[in-house]
Amino acid sequence: MATPKPALKALVFDVFGTVVDWRGSLIREGRRLGKRRNLELDWAAFADAWRAGYKPAMARVRSGELPWTTIDRLHRMILEDLLRRFGIRGLSEADKFEFNRAWHRLAPWPDARAGLARLKRRYVIATLSNGNVALLVNMARHAGLPWDTVICAELFHHYKPDPEAYLGTAALLDLAPAQVMLVAAHKDDLRAAAACGLKTGFVPRPLEKGPTSEPDTKPEGDFTVNAKDFVDLARRLGA
């Protein structure tokens, strides 16, 4: 059946770092745990190490070394390793379960909710995250993110930047790749999406990796849109 294929219909969002501030949230959660369990620790270093374990863990799944494993489980595997490396002992199973769930409670960047609400009036908005469904649903409820639906690597058993994740998302939305825009703060994610035919929206998050980091926040001519934040993105997309 011939489907009319007009312009942009849906925006799909990278989540960790683009929509939510994983680092600030994990540091707060770490301090809270430290207070409760009497742990003296550099929680910023702990947060950075937790996140640093993420790409190598996904690479083990992408290469086939590990069978399909959700981010919740990968986060927990990395956590167990970090507890040893940071010399943290005596946490109960419930402590560890709850701390791992910090990833379900990440706080949105200040412009995220307002920008998404505005974009939703004109476009379908969904996640396109390496997080798993339960994590993203819990995060949306906690942070007030008004997704039309949650789409993620778990649905395809392929982590970004595997093309299956980008093409599978367009297929589930019954759209051509060019009718879908990936919004992300990470240029490698956007370039992988563009290679699959998706449109690209770059939103820099200069504080993602902390106040002393120097991430690449330069706009690029090959992205469909470069915006300052989600509210600016809505304005540029006529929403």
Least separation, in Å, of the C-beta of 63 and a copy of itself? 24
Region near a copy of itself per CB under 8 A, out of 109-117, 170-178, 184-192, 214-222: 170-178
Q: CA 83, 88, 94, 97: dihedral to nearest 10 degrees?
A: -20
Region near a copy of itself per CB under 8 A, out of 57-65, 167-175, 182-190, 212-220: 167-175
User: Measured from the CB atom, is 127 or 200 closer to a copy of itself?
Assistant: 127
Whole-number Å distance between alpha carbons of 82 and 47? 10
Interface mask (CB under 8 A) for a copy of itself, residues 13-52, using x and -?
A: ----------------------------------------
Distances (CA, A) of 63 to 50, 66, 168: 21, 8, 19
Whole-number Å distance between alpha carbons of 195 and 193? 5
Count of helices and strands (H, E) across the chain: 11, 7
Residue 72 engages a copy of itself in binding (rule: CB under 8 A): yes
CA 169 vs. chain centroid, Å, equals 15
In the chain the first and final C-alpha atoms are separated, in Å, by: 30
Interface mask (CB under 8 A) for a copy of itself, residues 131-160, using x and -?
A: -xxx-xxx-xx-----xxxxx--xx-----
Residue 78 engages a copy of itself in binding (rule: CB under 8 A): no
Tell which positions 171-190 bind a copy of itself, by CB under 8 A: 172-175
User: Measured from the CB atom, is 131 or 204 closer to a copy of itself?
Assistant: 131
Least separation, in Å, of the C-beta of 81 and a copy of itself? 14
DSSP annotation string for 43-72: HHHHHHHHHHTHHHHHHHHHTTSS-S--HH
Residue 215 CB burial class (10 angstroms; 0-12, 13-18, ≥19): middle
Least separation, in Å, of the C-beta of 171 and a copy of itself? 9
Residue 7 engages a copy of itself in binding (rule: CB under 8 A): no
State the pairing for strand pair 124-127/107-108.
Answer: unpaired
- Which one of 93, 211, 212, 238 is in contact with a copy of itself (CB under 8 A)? 93
Site size toward a copy of itself (CB under 8 A) is 34
Q: Cβ distance 204 to 215 under 8 Å? A: yes
| Contact residues: a copy of itself, CB under 8 A | 1-4, 70, 72-73, 76, 93-94, 96-97, 100, 124, 126, 132-134, 136-138, 140-141, 147-151, 154-155, 172-175
